[in-house]
Amino acid sequence: MISVEEAQRRITSAFSPIDCETMDLAHLVGRVLAEDVTAKYDQPPFTSSAMDGYAVRAEDGDVPRRIIGSVPAGHPFSGKVAAGEAVRIFTGGMVPEGADAVVIQEEVDREGDNIYFNRSALEPDYVRPAGLDFKQGTVLLPAGKRINSRDMALLAAGDVTQVKVRRRPRVAIASVGDELSAPGEPRKPGGITASTGYGLSAMITNWGGAPCDFGILPDTAHEIATIADANAELVVTLGGASVGDHDLVQKALGSTDFELDFWKVAMRPGKPLLFGRLGGTPILGLPGNPVSALVCAILFLRPAVDAMLGTAQHTCSLPQKLKCGCRTTTARLKGALPINDSRQAYLRARLSFEDGEMWAEPFLAQDSSMLSVLVQADALVVRRPGAEAARDGDRLDIIPLDGY
């Protein structure tokens, strides 16, 4: 068995950023930029008012002013503000020539076309200089950034209409096993419903990939070998990668142009993990147990998708660092854990916050078939091979599951 870190290294090294395509602004959310995107104009494009009030010359002090015009947003004043003059201005209006300050309407008394200050001093407040937010040519978003809703607003403000993004990598999925049936179909004697593919497809979509589900393949070498025809950047099999007589993925692929890189990783859950190349296409064989498969997808499949998209950015509200190919943070352990064995463990746990600290409480049930526990979990507690017994309050690495 190889380590989790070595398996991640071998998998991610098999991928590089794929080709790109040009997309319109309206369709960019969730896509990954293939190049830096720069602003076409200054923002704001002119000196403007941050409040409703009066544009004046600051050097004139707090003497009364005569109103000579009005500046609603989008309607610049064509004249020039001279000594003793003011222009009525509204939020977003262009500060007229000659003026360099805005006094808000609450700080003046107006009588006809004249205003009088009701404070002792005038400062150049409430003026937004041109380019305050960003200037023309500023890099708004870097290559490799996954575009979110806030980014969309920024790109629009920079007058960006089209950008180059990485194409969504195609990931073919095949569930293997005579015991499997699709949801809603009659269940076979001694069989179960195939569930993992649905969660995996959703994960791949959320990560920026394009899943293609081959459905359920019977436990025959001929049927399994059909995945050699998948038109994809990555083929993922679910089940059939263990050591039983009917785990046929390796045997079936052995009759094709298949080259095995590794099989079995020192981890729990998810030891029977297979990786190799099917012709020129990487293939990742995930375990059959649903929790094992989805945990392995987080640890190994997402880094592969990120490598194809040219990004390693994950979204999470918690402070994180990149460790072992995944975004991790730390939490205090609620309870106690025994000495760990030689396999790296990923314990499903719920998170809570007490006295400003984040706590992780592993579930008592950790069976790799129990999807209900994975759904209730907020994080995976990471236990290194041979880790000493952990006591209540010890700080441990965790992988938050928000976004998964």
**Residue 353 within a domain:** yes
The CATH number of whichever domain residue 68 belongs to comes to: 2.170.190.11
Q: How far apart are CA 68 and CA 380, in angstroms?
A: 67
213 and 285 in a single domain? The answer is: yes
Together in a domain, 198 and 222: yes
Q: Is 149 helix (H, G, I), strand (E, B) or coil?
A: helix
Q: Based on the structure, what is the number of domains in the chain?
A: 4
Residue 53 has pLDDT above 60, yes or no: yes
Q: Which two tokens stand for residue 194?
A: 């195939």
pLDDT, mean of residues 253-265: 80
What pLDDT does residue 221 have? Answer: 61
**Sign of CA pseudo-dihedral 302, 246, 197, 363:** negative
* 315 located within any domain: no
State which residues form the domain around 238: 4-16+168-309
Which one of 128, 153, 180 terminates a domain?
128
In a domain, 272, yes or no: yes
Q: In terms of domains, do 160 and 27 share one? A: yes
Kindly tell me if the per-residue pLDDT of 110 is higher than 70.
Answer: yes
Pair of tokens at residue 334: 């609620």
**CATH number for the domain harbouring residue 30:** 3.90.105.10
- Of 287, 290, 257, nearest in space to 274 by CA: 287
155 and 195 part of one domain: no
pTM, to two decimals: 0.86
Average pLDDT, integer, range 165-193: 89
Q: 309, 332, 357: which is the final residue of a domain? A: 309
Residues 8 and 300 sit within 8 Å (Cβ to Cβ): yes
Amino acid at 69: G
Model confidence pLDDT, tens digit, residues 313-327:
544 444 455 555 567
Please say whether the dihedral angle defined by the alpha carbons of residues 199, 205, 206 and 209, taken in this order, is positive or negative: positive
**In a domain? residue 314:** no
Q: What is the mean pLDDT of residues 203-208?
A: 95
Same domain? For 72 and 8 the reply is no
> Is 86 found in the same domain as 59?
yes
175 vs 237: CA distance, rounded Å? 6
* Residue 106: inside a domain: yes
Asked if 291 and 182 sit in the same domain, the reply is: yes
Residues 266 and 384 in one domain: no
Percent of the chain with pLDDT over 70: 89
Residues 262 and 336 occupy one common structural domain: no
For 61-86, what is each residue's pLDDT tens digit?
A: 888 999 999 999 999 999 999 999 99
Of residues 72, 33, 8, 360, the one with CA closest to residue 167: 33
Calpha distance 288→194 (Å, rounded) = 10
Specify whether 144 is located in the same domain as 241: no
Pair 347, 336: CB distance under 8 Å: no
Judgement on whether residues 195 and 112 belong to the same structural domain of the protein: no
Which of 106-110, 122-126, 240-244, 250-254 holds the top average pLDDT?
106-110
What is the reported pLDDT for 317?
42
Nearest partner of 295 among 359, 394, 387, 370, judged by Cα: 370
Nearest to 277 by CA among 2, 14, 6: 14
CATH number at residue 338: 2.40.340.10
Q: In the chain, what percentage of residues exceed pLDDT 90? A: 72
Same domain as 349, residue 229: no
